[in-house]
Amino acid sequence: MKTMIKNTLIGSLLGISLMVTGACSKNNNSLNTDDKVSIIDVSADGNTILATARLALAASDNLSYSDTELEMLLHMKEEEKLARDVYSALSVKYKIPVFSNISRSENTHLNAVIWLLKNYGEEYTEVKEPGKFSNPDFQDLYDKLVAKGSESLAEALKTGALIEDLDIKDLMDYIGNVTNENIIMVFENLTKGSRNHLRAFNRILVRMGIIYTPSYISQEEFDKIVSSPHEAGNIYYRGRCINGN
């Protein structure tokens, strides 16, 4: 993880991107309905599952990446694992559904990144046990986030919002710097999931009278996200996005 991310994150606990709308063609009504697929499922509360089993139907055959794209995938593998593991740890302490539900969602997000790496072998697809990370920066971050989130429910919810804030920033930065259509497809849907999860954490914070101030995305972007409805998935057809939502 970038050093600036590590240093900024803890300070923000103490105290751009445009929304992806999906650049898809909408004139594909002649396609067989059975060939159309969305790779995410969104519940009424915004919990967003990425259906890895559908990736094979939606993706193209291009699973070879540049060195830069491979590095981005490995970074996001650790970052999605971070989200999953932090929420799982906090769900043990706080018996409210948002942590356990979103932890399960983050597991599907992690599996989607692993799916993209499937041709690269165990060295790239291996995932350590919960709470353990290959990248020492993520290990340090996990320990600090769990400690901070364990202080109170309010801090736990702010920790959740902060993780999604970071995910959105990193994913949007990466989307602007990759060319592989499968990475773009997955990262766009992961970004939708992160925005939905940010909405879920923020909604509870607002009910508690707590204002979350973003650390990575702009205040304008944050306001745009939390004031808009949960997002559903794009529809894909054999590697092509055909219907943006």
DSSP, residue by residue, 34-67: GG-B-SEEE-TT--EEE-GGGHHHH--S-----H
Of residues 234 and 83, which shows the higher confidence score?
83
144-171 tens-digit pLDDT: 999 999 999 999 999 999 999 999 999 9
- Alpha-carbon distance of 179 to 166, in angstroms, equals 22
- Of 68, 54, 193, nearest to 115 by C-alpha is 54
The strand pair at 48-50 and 235-237 is best described as unpaired
DSSP, residue by residue, 121-144: -HHHH--PSTT--SSHHHHHHHHH
Q: What is the pTM assigned to this prediction?
A: 0.85
What domains can be seen in the chain, in order of their start residue?
A: 25-243 (1.20.1260.10)
At residue 14, the pLDDT reads 38
| DSSP run (H or E) holding 83 | helix 67-93
29-82 tens-digit pLDDT: 444 455 688 999 999 999 999 998 899 889 999 999 999 999 999 999 999 999
Average pLDDT of the chain, as a whole number: 87
174-231 tens-digit pLDDT: 999 999 999 999 999 999 999 999 999 999 999 999 999 999 999 999 999 999 999 9
